[in-house]
Amino acid sequence: MAFVNKTKYLLAPPYCKTAETFISPIPGSPSELSDGLKLAGGWRCFKNLRILQKKKDKLIEVQMSFQEFLKVAKNYSKSSLTEAEFQIDNLVNKRLPFAKLDMSKSHIMGVINMTPDSFYKSSQTNNINILNKKFNEMINDGASIVDIGGESSRPGAKKISVFEEKCRIFEPLKQLKNCKIDTLISLDSRNLSTMKSCHKIGVDIFNDITAFKEKNKIEFISKISSPVIIMHMQKEPINMQINPKYDFAPIDIYKFFSKKISDLIDAGVKKSNIVVDPGIGFGKTLSDNLDILKYLPIFHGLGVPILIGVSRKSLISELTIYDYKLRGKNKINIKPSKRLSGSLAFAIHAHMSGVQILRTHDVFETNQALICQKSINL
């Protein structure tokens, strides 16, 4: 894992052949940055950038304004300036609507698991009446999307059969779609057969933890022109937390998404149909997760909306336990039921980073936190 050394000088000119260059905007409110640029056409602005450069085992960060960055690039070469301008444009350009949702505003995705073994018990249900109740509560509480899955992807989870997955979710989803509701339904599945079956009943979005890595899945989503969420994950749920390794997680994941988006577009998928999810907790250590969250704005450079899901996840427990240890107290575990406060803290951080979709088990609480934050974020 690389260590980020904060310096005053770049390792090399921007976008030259000897060093990789990445930019992460430093978001602020429009009132704070009256001379700044609007981030992704949304509610945050930026003037300054974190310039990350990677050269072999060296990784440095230099902060400078976007004007200074463009000047440095211009002084090097025309091609350097062209690439720098392209990257700034990616940060600024307004995102096209995703599944008819306005991406200049923040949205909440509620989570319902039709499973007996998801890590957070309160999100589990196998009862259609409870599903309908949860679904309608999430709509009333402010969810633009409800993400429903039939297979647990918690660390260590074993893969179930496609037949079992369909048995858990097909009829419930069919009943929900027959209710003619406005809120979008997202299918959380990695199985093409399940996707095809649920497409026939009108599921709106396909959310794949494997990022549609199989060619036949890409061909399917291209053919039906459906909105998709591509998530980053190392290995599989059953082994993803066994010694995950990155040079530097934000850059590695950025490069993964950059290639994936290019491949999808080449296969006929519309860019406006793509959202990226860095996959907090999916094949990442605590430090990897924190690096991703610290440099979350880097993913705006991909030119598509971002989804983040930190709700009730184990890094909240790890951080809390570490704090107990610093205070000389013994604490072994913080259960998912005790992780709401940490979830809300990370949700607000993501919102302040310009992230367009927040995936959460707690729609009411997350929406309330956003309402309060927006009321004072002048």
Of 227, 176, 224, 226, residue with least CA distance to 201: 176
Burial of 218 (0-12, 13-18, 19+ CB in 10 A): buried
CA 347, CA 154: separation in Å to the nearest integer?
Answer: 20
Q: Closest Cα partner for 199 from 218, 219, 213, 185? A: 185
Instruction: Kindly report the number of other CB atoms within 10 A of residue 259's CB atom.
Output: 10
Q: Known catalytic residue: 359?
A: yes
Cα angle 63, 65, 66; round to 5: 115
Determine the Cα–Cα distance for residues 93 and 100; give it in Å rounded to an integer. Answer: 17
**Is-catalytic flag, 168?**
no
Of the residues 54, 166, 168, 313, which is catalytic?
A: 313
Q: Which residues of 36-60 are buried (b: 16+ CB within 10 A; e: fewer)?
A: bebbbebbbbbbbbbbbbbeeeebb
Are 322 and 347 a contacting pair, CB within 8 Å?
no
- Could you give phi then psi for residue 269, rounded to 5 degrees? -80, 130
Catalytic residue among 38, 134, 168, 359: 359
* Residue numbers annotated as active site: 313, 359
